[in-house]
Amino acid sequence: MAWLCDLHTHSTFSDGTSTPRELFTQARQGGLDLIGLTDHDTTAGWEQAREAARETGVGLMVGAEVSCAWRGVTVHMLSYLHDPLAPGLPALFETIHASRRARVADMVERIGRDYPLTLADVEAQAGEGVAIGRPHIADALIAAGCFSHRNEVFATILHPASPYYVRYCAPDPREVIETITECGGVAVMAHPRPLSRQRRVVPAHVIASWRDVGLFGIEVDHPDHTREWREALGVLTARYGLHRTGSSDFHGRGKTTTLGENLTDWEVVEAIAERGRMDLVLPAT
Nearest-10 crossing angle of helices 134-143, 119-126? 110
Rounded to a whole number of angstroms, the minimum distance from the CB of residue 39 to Zn ion is 8
| Interface with Zn ion (CB under 5 A) | 15
Nearer of residues 75 and 208 to Fe ion, judged by Cβ:
75
Q: Is 63 strand, coil or helix?
A: strand
- Per CB under 6 A, which of residues 13..32 are in contact with ligand AMP? 15
Decide which of Fe ion, ligand AMP, Zn ion, none touches 63; Cβ closer than 5 to 8 Å per partner kind: none
Residue 30's alpha-carbon distances to 18, 93, 259, in angstroms, are 15, 32, 8
Q: Which residue, 15 or 33, is less far from ligand AMP as judged by CB?
A: 15
Candidates 36, 45, 59, 133; binder of ligand AMP (CB under 6 A) is: 133
Binding residue for Fe ion, selected from 17, 26, 36, 76, defined by CB under 5 A = 76
Q: Which does 244 bind (CB under 5 to 8 A by kind): Zn ion, ligand AMP, Fe ion, none?
A: none
CB of residue 40 to Zn ion, shortest distance in Å:
5
Written as one letter, the residue type at 3 is W
Dihedral sign computed on CA atoms, order 258, 8, 221, 200? positive
Q: How far apart are CA 140 and CA 133, in angstroms?
A: 11
Instruction: State in angstroms the smallest separation of the CB of 85 from ligand AMP.
Output: 26
Find the residue with minimal CB distance to ligand AMP.
Answer: 133
DSSP letter at 133?
A: -
**Alpha helix locations (H) across the chain?**
20-29, 46-56, 88-111, 119-126, 134-143, 150-155, 173-182, 204-209, 227-240, 266-275
- Site for ligand AMP (CB under 6 A): which residue of 194, 218, 251, 257? 251
Q: Which residues, numbered 201-220, are part of the site for ligand AMP (CB under 6 A)?
A: none
The dihedral sign for the CA sequence 238, 240, 243, 247? negative
Distance between CA atoms of residues 197 and 156, nearest Å: 21
CB closer to ligand AMP out of 97 and 251? 251
Nearest of 146, 138, 139 to residue 116 by alpha carbon: 146
Task: Report what 151 binds from Zn ion, Fe ion, ligand AMP, none; CB cut-off 5-8 Å by kind.
Answer: ligand AMP
Judged by CB under 6 A, does residue 80 bind ligand AMP? no
How far apart CA 146 and CA 150 sit, in angstroms, is: 11
Binding site for Fe ion (CB under 5 A): 65, 76, 190, 249
Binding site for ligand AMP (CB under 6 A): 15, 133-135, 150-151, 154, 251, 254-255
